[in-house]
Structure 1
Amino acid sequence: MQKRVNNLPSYGPELDIMWNKERESFSTKIIVLDDDPTGVQTVHGIPVFTDWNIETIEEVFKEERQLVFILTNSRAFSVLETTQVHTDIAQRIAQVSERLGQPYLLVSRGDSTLRGHYPLETEILKETIEKQSTLRFDGEILLPFFKEGGRETIDDVHYVKQGDKYIPAGETEFAKDRMFGFSNSNLRDWIEEKTNGVFKRASVQSITLDELRALDIDAIVEKLMHLKNFEKLIVNAVTEEDVKAFSIALLRAIKSGKIYLYRTAASFTKVIGDISSKPYLEAKDLLHEDSPYGGLVVIGSHVQKSTDQLNRLKEKESLHFIEFACNLVVENNLFNEEIKRVQHEVNAKISEGTTVVVYTSRERLDLGEGRGEEELALSVKISNAVTQFVNQCHPQPRFVIAKGGITSSDVGTIGLKVKKAEVLGQIAPGVPVWKTGEESVFPEIPYVIFPGNVGEVDTLKEVVEKLQ
């Protein structure tokens, strides 16, 4: 189903004039909780923390940069784990904020294809912070627009670009996710579906594209000011300028005393953080030392886009490909032998100066109905093995690329043991690069975080070619 074409007026210079005037007086700390590492796919020059102990939360507030990310990786968690993690984070943020007398704006960055623990995460944040402090949240802003990934919201319907068409999100493979599936593409209906009817579609407000393009800021502010009891507000958007127009009104409402939580994709964090656009990174920006060794590419994502990109990458004869037979996970001895085989081959080829691509076998693990917890436990074993391929890689590879949100999180935090990384920018649309910290097993190498659902069929191949 193709989205309808909108003949909307474009923005003139007035938008940036209004934005700069409104934004210059906004100095509140912006904390983004990222449910996988791909949320930094629009920003650069900002830090990412990978734990949330009390010392780290203090460092977040004391960090001189206004925008800070905390990687929770909660999309890979169970409901119980997600609840505990968000309770801990919320308690510590409320505690440190009060002690330092420093206010904050809290964003729950989720998937632009609408997967993830929603509404659980923002509900836990709201309830915990309100119990821990005097803050009371008036409403929740939902803004899943993400330009680089081809995710647009029009007339409250969220679309995902596939090829040259825009498909309603509820009709995509992402809506069939075994843990986070949904049926509705209209965000009003999606909210009712996800909240099990607690918030009815009729109670959901929205900001229209017509209001944004007309720069009818007063009308948008009025809608924001009327939110109460954690009511939901959808923001339609097809460009970053739409997000900026909305954010002008949002900052006015915040300055009038309103408090919101945010469930958004990556574009909102760039805009509200006032992060400039930057050219895509080249090899010269990332590889500063001549290394005789190869790079390491790890592909765990099973979405069709990842498989298509892997198949195109296989056309490069200069790379060495290793299929990790992860379905052997049900047989301990065979699985352990497979891990040893892959690790030996990885190390040998990288030592020779060859870039290695390790990919999990493409068949999904399926134990049958009612065995989801067992599948999850086995998936963790597979993920641990994949991260070991990175952690136990000798010698140090020239670069590391991880394909897939959960894969890239585990590779970053467990494989590379990163505690704090710097986001250097993007190497391709929606594909961020970290510079690993000194504490990492491979300090200060480029680590490319490649979302499973991002890019065209050639994008992964182009990124590898660029780094080679």
Structure 2
Amino acid sequence: MILEEELLADFPADADVPAHAVADSVSASKRILVVLDDDPTGTQSVADLPVLTAWEPGDFRWAFGLDPRPAAVYVLTNTRSLDPDEAAERNRAVVTNALAAARESGLELAFTSRSDSTLRGHFPLETDTIAATLEAQNGLGADGVVIVPAFPDAGRVTIGGTHYTRSGSGGLTPVADTEFARDATFGYRSSSLAEYIEEKSGGRFPANSVIVLDLAILRAGTPAESAIAIADALEPAADRTPIAVDIVTENDFRRLALGLSEAERRGKKFIYRVGPPFVRGRIGQEVRAPLSSAEALGPDAPRRGGLVVVGSHVGQTTRQLDALLRRLPSARVIELDVERVLAGDESHIAETAERVAASLATGDVVVHTSRTLVTADSAAGSLAIARRVSAALVDVVRQTLAAVRPRFVVAKGGITSSDVAAHGLGIRHAMVRGPMLPGIVSLWEPMDGPALGIPYVVFAGNVGDDASLADVVEKLSYQKESIND
């Protein structure tokens, strides 16, 4: 076992950096951070920011025109569910349309590619595409690509340039030794971020070309002193130089934000490839406490069942599903048979939706895919299977919503959450209201479409402990409310 405290002994101690130190500089600027989120779980660390599931110029005009103007806007690209060509085209469209809307409003934009804290996703394809599109649109590319996958709230930290997951009792596991590195589509071999970058770039960026901002630099003296140290370390960055960053605490994110601002003041241009909490630190947002039941549901929540949709197949999700059913044994469980879906059995989808709608009248319903993971011989084939299964879940949700409005909807899994939001619930614009658990699991308020007024919870497949899904559903369920009464 690798002990976190032993690794940290080689670096300066953590020290407090107030959020307003970052926020003050952000509020003085007209720049908005546009976050291309490759699935909707990137919003789980922020609060009171807009999220778009469509990216026409008019969608950006809606977000940029909010009062107060948001420091960041999330765009749900769902590119982790797409093949590389489709992902690249979607990134190009988002950047092009965001820039068009910004020019109309006289705004400056910066771009963030938000992806998985366990290193899965289209990298460096997405940051390359953003940089190339910026060069084509305004002649300005990127000096560096700042890579910050850390997500301490979910147990992912980067120390000494190596990315880890916390395994309990202060232990750390190199991320390449976890189940996430064996992903059928986005697997990898390296836990060192510099070596991961070399691996994923096919050697285009050798490990020794990566700038590593370790904790010795981030924690170099006062926040002002560390900002200068960070900017000095970034001075050599040119032509999309990869920059790997150590992060263990929220203060590290804030020091990084101050350093990036100083480097940008000196003229550097960056694109970011990050995990969820980077945006919170970059814009100087305070850590939002978990929403209460009353905050999440509002005063007029109907006393009927909520809908929990589970598509993720990682072991963590299966354990959470088991714990949920033990905690709320009255919940109705309905399985969507993947084999029948892949065989093209449309009647199975319709029958499943009818059962879900009928069951919501009497209590909470959990609809999940069969737990045997079906994959293909290639990464592209496995991705295609995942998309077909997700489409079937979306059909179930859409048909259910046409018959009855659930008290709430919880979607478990990244691709599942995205597809349910955009296609199952018909959400185009939403506001992220905050987390349901400390630092993880976000609640959206739909601002339009058939789901207007239905709290929507986005729950990543790879976050939380075994009890987390049960904790969230219990907070929202009227059945548990009745028991507590």
Same fold (TM over 0.5): yes
Q: Which has the larger displacement, 21-30 or 413-422? A: 21-30
Equivalent residue for 2:396?
389
Whole-angstrom distance in 2 between the partners of 1:56 and 1:24 = 22
2:292 partner amino acid: E
Aligned to 2:214: 208
**1:49-128 aligned within 5 A:** 49-63=52-66, 64-128=69-133
1:22–1:252 Cα contact (<8 Å) kept:
no
Aligned residue for 2:146, secondary structure, equals: strand
Aligned to 2:480: none
Supply the distance in 1 between the matched residues of 2:109 and 2:290 (Cα, whole angstroms): 30
Distance 2:246 2:382 in 1: 37
Structure 2 counterpart of 1:407: 416
Residue 328 of structure 1 is matched in structure 2 by: 340
Q: Alpha-carbon deviations, 1:385-407, whole Å to 9, x = none?
A: 21122211121100000000000
Partner of 2:483: none
In the alignment, the residues of structure 1 paired with residue 352 and residue 453 of structure 2 have an alpha-carbon distance, to the nearest angstrom, of 25
Gaps of 5+ in 1: none
2:314 counterpart of 1:303: yes
The aligned amino acid for 2:421 is: G
- Cα RMSD between the aligned structures? 1.9
**Which residue is 1:149 aligned to?**
154
**How do residues 207-356 of structure 1 correspond to structure 2 at under 5 angstroms?**
207-215=213-221, 216-287=226-297, 288-315=299-326, 316-332=328-344, 335-352=345-362, 354-356=363-365
Q: Which residue of 423, 444, 453 corresponds with 1:444? A: 453
Specify the code of the residue in structure 2 equivalent to 1:311.
D
TM-score if structure 1 supplies the norm length? Answer: 0.94
**How far, CA to CA, are the matches of 1:60 and 1:308 in structure 2?**
38
| Secondary structure of 2:45's aligned partner | coil
Letter in 2 for 1:384: A
CA distance in 2, matches of 1:336, 1:274: 48
- Secondary structure in structure 2 of the residue aligned to 1:174: helix
- Structure 1 counterpart SS, 2:395: helix
SS in structure 2 opposite 1:245? helix
The CA distance in 2 between the partners of 1:214 and 1:357, in whole Å, is 49
Aligned mates of 2:413, 2:359 — CA distance in 1: 23
Cα gap change, 1:17 to 1:72, in 2 (>3 Å) = closer
Deviation at 1:298, TM superposition (A): 0.6
In structure 2, the partner of 1:161 is 166
**Which sections of structure 2, spanning at least 5 residues, go unmatched?**
478-485
Greater alpha carbon shift after TM alignment, 289-298 vs 421-430: 289-298
Q: Percent same amino acid among aligned pairs?
A: 35
Local SS of the residue matching 2:28: coil
Using the alignment, how far apart are the partners of 1:14 and 1:180 within structure 2?
35
Native 8 Å contact 1:152 1:238 kept in 2: yes
What letter matches 2:208 in structure 1?
A
Distance 1:379 1:201, change over 3 A: closer
2:48 equivalent among 45, 48, 51: 45
Query: Is the 8 Å Cα contact of residues 143 and 268 (structure 2) preserved in structure 1?
Result: yes
Measure the CA separation in 2 of the matches of 1:148 and 1:140.
23
**Amino acid aligned to 1:198:** R
Structure 1 CA distance, aligned partners of 2:95 and 2:22?
30
* Change in 2 beyond 3 A, CA 1:16/1:434: closer
Instruction: Quote how far apart the aligned CAs of 1:108 are.
Output: 0.6
Could you tell me whether the CA contact under 8 Å between 2:36 and 2:91 is conserved in 1? no
Q: Does the aligned pair in 2 maintain the 1:295–1:400 contact within 8 Å?
A: yes
For 1:437 and 1:25, the matched residues in 2 are separated by 28
Aligned to 1:41, the other structure's residue is in SS state helix
Give the CA deviation at 1:99: 4.6
Distance 1:78 1:320, change over 3 A: same
d(CA) in 1 for partners of 2:200, 2:460: 24
**Equivalents in 2 of 1:88, 1:364: separation in Å?**
33
| CA–CA separation in structure 2 for the residues paired with 1:62 and 1:398 | 30
Name the CA distance, whole Å, in 1 between partners of 2:346 and 2:186. 31
C-alpha offsets along residues 226-275 of structure 1, whole Å, 9 cap, x if unaligned?
21111111110100101111111111111222111000111110011221
Shift of the alpha carbon at 1:66?
A: 2.0
Structure 1 residues 375 and 241: CA distance shift in structure 2, 3 A: closer
One-letter amino acid of the counterpart of residue 256, structure 1 = R
Query: What SS class does the counterpart of residue 250 from structure 1 fall into?
Result: helix
Give, as a single letter, the amino acid of the residue that structure 2 aligns with 1:414: H
Q: Does the Cα contact within 8 Å between 2:52 and 2:74 map onto a contact in 1?
A: yes
Pair 246,330 (structure 1): closer, same or farther in 2 beyond 3 Å:
closer
The more displaced of 223-232 and 146-155 is 223-232
TM superposition shift of 1:75:
0.5
What's the offset of the Cα at 1:203? 0.8
Report the Cα distance in structure 1 between the residues aligned to 2:293 and 2:255, rounded to whole angstroms: 35
Q: Contact 1:45–1:422 at 8 Å: present in 2 too?
A: yes
Q: In structure 1, give the amino acid aligned to 2:191.
A: S
**TM-score, normalised via structure 2 length:** 0.91
Partner in structure 2 of residue 36 of structure 1: 39
| CA shift digits 1:122-146 (9 cap, x unpaired) | 1011111101212131111011111
- Once the two structures are TM-superposed, the CA of residue 21 in structure 1 deviates from its matched residue by 6.0
Q: 1:40 to 1:345 in 2, by over 3 A?
A: same
Measured against aligned partners, the alpha-carbon deviations of 1:405-439 in whole angstroms (never above 9, x if no partner) come to 00010110000000001111011131000011232
Of 189-198 and 5-14, the range deviating more from structure 2: 5-14
Aligned partners of 2:146 and 2:245 also within 8 Å: yes
One of 171, 180, 183 as aligned partner of 1:174: 180
For residues 420 and 27 of structure 2, the distance between their equivalents in structure 1, rounded to whole angstroms, comes to 38
CA shift for structure 1 position 308: 0.5
Task: Name whichever of 403-412 and 127-136 sits farther off.
Answer: 127-136
Structure 1: which amino acid aligns with 2:31?
T
Out of 314-323 and 283-292, give the one that drifted further.
Answer: 283-292
CA distance in 1, matches of 2:353, 2:39: 26
